[in-house]
Structure 1
């Protein structure tokens, strides 16, 4: 496999303005399926500002400033319990055919009124939870059993304690997070055509924002000025906006927010923008050429090509992991984290792409092509992250029927990757972003991309 740096014009695939919506009946079905899978009398789904994705997936509400718990119970009971500021927000935003919103002021910010409904225990009793019932918890991630840690809950203990007291037996409260977040069988691991269309809206806009930074950045920009070139329009964020740089005196810290530091020729630079359903990241040099860097970037790009040309419906996640790792190793590189993971409202749901484990890739999985190369010399940065979805013929047909504009953009991106970048894509891989596989190693020469020779 050979890689070249070549002039490539990235087409305008069209930027969607109106976000496609997921129907109310779909949210109803998600709640019913979550309840059925849990096998409990009640299911409690926790959410806060950082860990909102499970509740958003189930009802399209996500708390702001405070916490919330969605209780799913007998006879389609759906109760959102939240604090002072989010009661009216939940009433306005929740997309379920029937639901209640209950105030629990313990979930409010410190110093706010606690005089009306301070006790979660009282709210739980009032909605019908009784001693002897079994409660399944959906926290923000499954217990870390692989590490040999105690099988606790990723769910605040103050709320777990209240749920245990309501059930009358600590052992009646059990973890059911994997019913949503298992890397292959979790309900959120597979999404439908409407959710794919909504995520494509986010991915299109996030990737376009990052590409505006890459193509418009100038030597002498501050990091803040460079980040402002993304032209943020207020889309809901899945992660804080990242932009960081460094010269050879230190590392490029990828998770850092932008500062007033000025970009100089030869600096390494990285940026990432993530919206609900799609994150994009790019990293390279503030330069128009560097032979040593190009050699490393080419080795990294071969790893990306291996990912795109290996991934398919039914393949084992271990095989993707090993093939990408082997290709990167030929260039002296490795992937810092798993080379690819499921994404949703948050950047990382879970991943079937692991060195061990019996997990298969399935139709309807939305993936972040997330290969962070390591090691990197001081002052260097490389990254090229994009979202894609795997879709069999039936799902592709449904997307085309329900969302023809979305499928038209996807088809155009597939043609671009094949014809301009030389990527041999299988029919099941649908690129969701505006710059799929576009790696410009030199940001002052962003019209030149790495391509398969």
Structure 2
């Protein structure tokens, strides 16, 4: 029987923290393919027009489809059943919207602009909709940020989460019953267009972003010292101008760690206290939580009773992944170990899908009959928290499920990416003792590495007979 042990290893051997891995560009042809996939679904569902809304926080659907996402402002993409594209933007995005390689009709809609900016060229939304071809016979699908389940909200198909003024203008043209929430066609775990990676370029993109994010976390851990301030420590990550997917987290001490999503200040790190660090770039998120300790002194009971079972659950999470299995099995394996709410305090899903945005959906829940499919990009995200005394464990990295065909395409087109993934697989299997399926592609340079003492990166949890 295998058990969790602590061993002295060199977990980051072979990781070049200064290596600048190029991030592939998504091509015009790939964006056109994504639009075709949406239009095909529209044809199947009898949708004549689709409206895709985006703002600064909820950008991913639009960026996925066009390569453009709004900055400062909101925007709206109109997709016709013929595949014609009309993009509505405000004053500050009218030039930036040219970043999209697609044949878009760019329309200035100044109510998307910031308060007090010029409105002298303002045209009504109703007129813009009609000019795009929408009329009283049109059936319109709205893609916002969320879709709703029938057990959660009444008339769920007609509940949309875009601004009311946009919906009001649309309803001047078409009937309420002809407007439906169409967001699930983008983010449903199996039917959503962008929840399944289809090309080697997409895999290489997310691997390159994860390489960058994980190297930042490793740099921080290697240079972290007692007496260092949170903001000072955050600079060790080596932030650059690549867009982030969440506010960076560097929290020291019980009070700050308990606040979860808090941003850092000058709070100094003290011996033996809790640490949480998290760095999320657009397409990857890496997070760790543990004790500012060098040895088991003072934290031994936490190691035995909290972190060892936590790591065992992490191992089961990874080993449960294989194309064709059900996510309910993953949930059962994890919660079979960490299900004690008083001891481990897990209240979110033990894992979720990840994309350009950090949490587009999660298929990992009790009795989930959602199958694991090739192209799923998954985040190992299991947050365990004990209250009395306080203790937290976070070990967060991403993996992609890929069938043989997709893996062969990756190896052929991006051999260096494939080589890095193969090295991580070998490390997980041979060094950490995690028996992952051949379908699992690890993206992080610190994949599944859990240090019992965060100030000593040579000590790691492993699974051994």
TM range (shorter): over 0.9
In the alignment, the residues of structure 2 paired with residue 412 and residue 205 of structure 1 have an alpha-carbon distance, to the nearest angstrom, of 16
Which of the numbers 114, 127, 132 marks the counterpart of 2:119? 114
For residue 44 of structure 1, give the secondary structure of its aligned residue in structure 2. Answer: strand
1:416 is aligned to: 427
Equivalent of residue 29 in structure 1, options 33, 38, 49:
33
The CA deviation at 1:17 is 3.0
Residue in structure 1 matched with residue 83 of structure 2 by the alignment = 76
Task: Choose from 127, 134, 146 the match for 2:151.
Answer: 146
Q: How far has the Cα of 1:276 moved from its partner?
A: 1.6
* Partner Cα distance (1:83, 1:34) in 2: 25
Secondary structure of 1:443's aligned partner:
coil
2:209 matches 1:209: no
* Aligned CA distance change for structure 1 residues 442 and 419 (closer, same or farther; 3 Å): same
- TM-score norm. by structure 2 comes to 0.93
Give unmatched runs, 5+ long, in structure 1: none
Q: How does 1:384-395 map to 2 (within 5 A)?
A: 384-395=395-406
Q: How does 1:82-231 map to 2 (within 5 A)?
A: 82-91=89-98, 93-96=99-102, 98-149=103-154, 151=156, 152-167=159-174, 169-192=175-198, 193-231=200-238
1:371 to 371, 382, 399: 382
Compute the displacement of 1:251 (Å): 5.4
Q: CA deviation at 1:234?
A: 1.5
1:436 and 2:447 matched: yes
Listed as ranges, the gaps of 5+ residues in structure 2 are none
Residue 414 of structure 1 and its aligned partner are, at CA, apart by: 0.4
Q: In the superposition, relative to structure 1, how do residues 251 and 281 fare at CA in structure 2: closer, same or farther (>3 Å)?
A: closer
Q: Provide the C-alpha distance between the structure 1 equivalents of 2:368 and 2:278, rounded to a whole number of angstroms.
A: 30
Aligned pairs (5 A) from 1:330-341: 332-333=343-344, 335-341=346-352
Contact 1:244 1:271 in 2 (8 A): yes
Kindly provide the CA deviation profile for residues 410-452 of structure 1, in whole angstroms up to 9, marking residues without a partner as x. Answer: 0010011112111111100100111111111312112211111
Q: CA separation of 1:45/1:378 partners in 2, compared to 1, >3 Å: closer, same or farther?
A: farther
Q: Deviations over 1:336-391 (max 9, x none)?
A: 31111110000011121111342111010000001111334455321110000001
> 1:270 maps to which residue?
276
The answer as to 2:303 corresponding to 1:294 is yes
Contact 1:35 1:42 in 2 (8 A): no
Question: Residues of 2 paired with 1:118 and 1:343: CA distance?
Answer: 37
Aligned pairs for 1:311-350 (under 5 A) are 311-329=321-339, 332-333=343-344, 335-350=346-361
Please list the CA deviations of residues 157-195 of structure 1 after superposition, one character each: whole Å capped at 9, or x if unmatched.
21122222232x122111111111111221111112211
**8 A contact 2:47–2:81 mirrored in 1:** no
Secondary structure, counterpart of 1:284 in structure 2: strand
| SS in structure 2 of the partner of residue 243 of structure 1 | strand
CA distance in 2, matches of 1:11, 1:163: 58
Please give the root-mean-square deviation of Cα atoms over the aligned residues, in Å.
Answer: 1.7
Q: Does 1:279 align with 2:281?
A: no
In the TM superposition, structure 1's runs of 4+ consecutive aligned residues that sit over 6 Å from their partners are: none
Shift of 1:252: 2.8
Secondary structure class of the residue paired with 2:82: helix
Give the whole-Å Cα distance in 2 for the aligned partners of 1:37 and 1:200. Answer: 29
Deviates more, 1:140-149 or 1:128-137: 140-149
Question: CA offsets per residue over residues 189-219 of structure 1, 9 Å max, x none?
Answer: 1112211111111111111111222221110
CA shift at 1:305, angstroms? 0.3
- Are the counterparts in 1 of residues 385 and 392 from structure 2 also a CA contact under 8 Å? no
Matched position secondary structure for 1:165: coil
- Structure-1 separation of matches of 2:231 and 2:411: 40
Residues in 2 aligned to 1:76 and 1:150: alpha-carbon distance in whole angstroms:
29
Point out the more displaced range, 315-324 or 330-339: 330-339
How many residues are aligned here? 449
Change (3 A) 1:185 1:75: closer
In the TM superposition, residue 250 of structure 1 has moved relative to its aligned partner by: 7.4
